[in-house]
Amino acid sequence: MAEETDFLLRQIKGIAGQLGYILGKRAEGTESAIIFPANKPPLPYQDVLRELLHTQHYQEALTKFTQIRYAMEQDDYVKLGLWLYAALLQLPEKERTEAGLTTAELQKGLNKLAAIQGEV
Tell whether the model's pLDDT for residue 1 goes beyond 70: no
Question: What local confidence, expressed as pLDDT, does residue 34 receive?
Answer: 61
Question: What local confidence, expressed as pLDDT, does residue 24 receive?
Answer: 66
d(CA 7, CA 2): 9
Question: What local confidence, expressed as pLDDT, does residue 16 receive?
Answer: 77
3-state helix, strand, coil in the chain (%, to 5): 70, 0, 30
Helix (H) or strand (E) holding 106: helix 103-119
**DSSP assigned state of 37:** P
Question: What local confidence, expressed as pLDDT, does residue 45 receive?
Answer: 94
pLDDT digits (tens, 9 = 90+) for 89-118: 999 999 999 999 999 999 999 999 988 888
pLDDT digits (tens, 9 = 90+) for 3-62: 567 777 777 777 777 777 666 665 555 565 666 666 778 889 999 999 999 999 999 999
